[in-house]
Chain A
Amino acid sequence: QVQLVESGGGVVQPGTSLRLSCAASGFTFSTYGMHWVRQAPGKGPEWVALIWNDGTNKYYTDSVKGRLTISRDNSKNTLYLQMNTLRAEDTAVYYCARDAGPGAQIWFDLWGQGTLVIVSS
């Protein structure tokens, strides 16, 4: 079954860290670029980060640069998001998403169910 399953969310205090995981199954994980997309309560989706299929290149939205790090382990079919120095504005449901677009075009054809991160004191 083709799916993505996120885990690792929770309630944390500002300034602390959290690591999200996304387990992929049913497809050849190592051939796809992967993304993290988040959605704050009542808001639209916000793209967070991209990692190429081989992990050689990574890109981030400006608001998370230097604090969030995307990585992957193709031997474990798993995508990660290391979240450091968390802020209240990082509170959101975090989705991992598969990049199905060819070359420069990017569209998300497969999403996980999401994992909720709440940053609050």
Chain B
Amino acid sequence: DIQMTQSPSTLSASVGDRVTITCRASQSIAIYLNWYQQKPGKAPNLLIYAASSLQSGVPSRFSGSGSGTDFTLTISSLQPEDFATYYCQQSFTTRALTFGGGTKVTSK
């Protein structure tokens, strides 16, 4: 299976900060990479699909980039509602989808 490694695992930031989360695949996955936000007790929520496409209804402060093995999720100006855990997910191997280990964004 393709392994997805996120860094950092925990990130402390303040409202207004620019935040960058990295996801690395164990092999090239082209742009078959999606990002989700999850808050405690809730299901994940799709933010970015196909590496850089913003899901409808998601604020424009969220953006994604990358291709091949290295991807980033950027929050341009962190808002109070953005404190959450973020996961990447690859779909290059459609019969063995995998998620990253998560990045928890906490308040500094």
Task: List A residues at the B interface (Cβ < 8 Å).
Answer: 35, 44-47, 50, 59, 61-62, 95, 97, 100-101, 104-109, 111-114
CA distance A107 to B54 in the complex (A): 12
- Counting from the closest, the 8 A-B pairs by CB-CB distance are A111-B43, A106-B91, A47-B97, A107-B49, A59-B95, A107-B34, A44-B102, A45-B99
Interface residues of chain B, those whose CB is within 8 Å of chain A, are: 32, 34, 36, 38, 42-46, 49-50, 55, 87, 89, 91, 94-102
A101–B97 alpha-carbon span in the complex (Å): 13
Closest to B38 in A: A45
- Which chain B residue shows the least CB distance to A93? B43
**Would you mind naming 13 contact pairs between A and B with Cβ atoms under 8 Å apart?**
A44-B87, A45-B36, A45-B87, A45-B99, A47-B89, A50-B95, A105-B49, A106-B97, A107-B49, A108-B46, A109-B46, A109-B55, A111-B44
| Closest chain B CB from A20 CB (angstroms) | 15
What residue of chain A has the Cβ atom nearest to residue B48's Cβ?
A107
Contact A46 B46 (CB under 8 A): no
> CB distance B46 to A47 under 8 Å?
no
Contact B45–A111 (Cβ < 8 Å): yes
B107: shortest Cβ distance to chain A, in Å? Answer: 20
Q: A45-B99, A95-B43, A107-B50 are in contact. List 6 more A-B contacts (CB 8 A).
A: A100-B49, A104-B91, A105-B91, A107-B34, A108-B34, A112-B43
Identify which of A50, A61, A108, A111 gathers the most chain B CB atoms within 10 Å of its CB.
Answer: A108
